[in-house]
Structure 1
């Protein structure tokens, strides 16, 4: 997968590294902003079924 991302991105190696870092930061931001709060509403850690 990483090789495919590397081949798809345009530009020299430095630009590719910067783009990959920006994409990774955007994914982490999206996870913390939308995905994790949505999952927290579904999965309640206080409802334990295993004793």
Structure 2
């Protein structure tokens, strides 16, 4: 799969590496900006309290 994607990218090796880095950075930015906050709001964790045994 990755080989097929690598063959589709245009340009020499340096341009391909730059394109891949930009794509990875864009995906990470989208995850941090929109996806992770949505998950945090949608799937709220239940607050739990641990009582001491004294």
**Is the shorter-chain TM-score for this pair beyond 0.5, marking a shared fold?**
yes
Task: Return 5+ residue gaps in structure 1 as ranges.
Answer: none
**CA–CA separation in structure 2 for the residues paired with 1:37 and 1:3:** 33
Partner of 1:19: 19
Q: TM-score, normalised by structure 2?
A: 0.78
**CA–CA separation in structure 1 for the residues paired with 2:10 and 2:44:** 43
Give the secondary-structure state (helix, strand or coil) at the position aligned to 2:44: coil
Higher gyration radius (CA): 2
Partner of 1:43: 43
> What is the Cα-based RMSD across aligned positions, in Å?
1.2
Runs of 4+ in structure 1 displaced over 3 angstroms? none
**CA–CA separation in structure 2 for the residues paired with 1:28 and 1:39:** 15
Q: Any idea what the Cα deviations from partners look like across 1:28-49, whole Å, max 9, x if unmatched? A: 000000000111111112x16x
Q: TM-score, normalised by structure 1?
A: 0.82
